Homo-oligomer: A and B are copies of this chain.
Amino acid sequence: MTQKITIIGVGLIGGSFSLALQEAGVDAEFIGCGRNEATLRRARERGIVSRYSTSVKEAVADTDLVFLATPVGAMEAVLAELADAVPAHAIITDAGSCKQSVIQAARRQLTLMDRFVPAHPIAGTEHSGVEAGFAALYRNRRVILTPEPDTDQSACDTVQELWLKTGALVEVMSAGRHDKVFAATSHLPHLLAFSLVETLYRMEQKEELLRYAAGGFSDFTRIASSDPVMWRDICLHNSDAVLESITSLREGMDSLVEAIVAEDGKRIEAFFKIAKETRDNKVLNKASQDSPIEQAPVPARLPENPQ
C-alpha cells in the first residue's frame, strides 16, 4: 500500500529522510511543506518530494505520516496548524534536538497524544538547507525515540521501521534523560565552538589572529558553522539542561584557572590527563559511532522513567 508521508521542513534532516527512504525502496508518496515556495520547488526538483504546499492544512490533509523537521522553535506553530487538519489515523513524528519541549508543545496543541512519536536523529553536518540533504545521512547513526507513557505502540513501531530503513540504529530513552545527555554531548560542544570563534571575533587585530587559526582550530570549530537559528532554538528549548552543562564546564575551567594561577603543575597535568584518558578510551574506540548496536524492540512505554 502506498503511504503518504508529509515532510514539513525539506532541509538537511527532512530531505535526507525522504531520500533515504526512497533509496531503501519504501513505497510512499512524499509531500513537501514549508514556508518558502522556492525551497519546496527545489525539493521537488531534487526528488525529495513529488508535490508540495505552503499550507500545512493542505499538505497533511490526506497523509499517513507527518515528519516534522523544522527548527524546534517553529514546531509548536506547525503542530497548532496541523492539529485539526491531520487525519485521525496519521502518525506525527519529529526530528527535534530537544525532546521535552517538543512533547510539551504537542500536548498543548494535539487533542490526542497517542499518535505522536517524539524522535531525534543524531546526525547532521554543518551544512543546512534543501541542497544539503543526502540519502546516506542516517546510515549507522543513532535515532533516539522518546515515547511517552501514552504513546501508541504501533505508531512507535511504524516510526522505528522507517528509521531502520534509512540505515539508522534506533534506541529508546526518556525525554528527560535525552535532554540531559545531549545537552552535555552535543549542545555544550556546539556552544563552546560558537563561543571560541566569537572570542576571536572580539579580539584586537582579529584578521591576523584568524590567519593563524588553522589546523586543529578548523576541526574544533567546524560545528560553529552550524545553523544559528537551529542552535538558538535548542538553547531556548533545552535551556535548563544547557545551562546546567555550562555551569558544570565552568566549574572545571575555574579549577583549571585556579591551578594555572597557583602554578600548580601537578594539578594542571592531572586535569589534562583525565581528559585525555577519557577521550582516548571512550571516543577513539568509536563504539558509539561505528559498530552496529542491538536493535531492541521499542516498548510501548519505558519500564521506568529514570529522569
Contacts and interface: CB of A to CB of B under 8 A. Distances in A.
Interface of A: 73, 122-124, 141-142, 181-182, 184-186, 188-203, 206, 208-229, 231-233, 235-236, 239, 242-243, 245-246, 248-250, 252-253, 256-257, 259-261, 263, 265, 268-269, 271-276, 278-280, 282-284, 286-289
Contacts of A192: 192, 196, 220
A197 B253 CA distance: 11
Given A184-B209, A214-B286, A221-B283, A196 B278 contact: no
A102 to B, nearest CB: 17
A281 to B, nearest CB: 8
A265 B189 CA distance: 19
Contact of A189 (B190, B196, B225, B286): B196
Contacts of A215: 122-124, 141, 289
Contacts of A289: 214-215, 218
Nearest to A266: B232
Contacts of A288: 210-214
A191 B256 contact: yes
A122 B263 CA distance: 25
Contacts of A250: 250, 253
Contacts of A278: 197-198, 200-201, 206, 210
Interface of A is mostly: helix
B265 A225 contact: no
6 contacts: A142-B212, A184-B199, A189-B217, A196-B249, A206-B278, A210-B283
A201 B286 contact: no
Contacts of A265: 73, 232-233, 236
Given A220-B189, A279-B224, A184 B198 contact: no
Contacts of A189: 196, 216-217, 220-221
Contact of A219 (B195, B222, B268): B222
A185 B200 contact: yes
A279 B201 CA distance: 9
B225 A279 contact: yes
Contacts of A141: 215
A271 B191 CA distance: 10
A289 to B, nearest CB: 4
A20 to B, nearest CB: 17
A260 B283 contact: no
B222 A273 contact: no
Q: Which of A124, A210, A231 has the most chain B CB atoms closer than 10 A to its own CB? A: A210
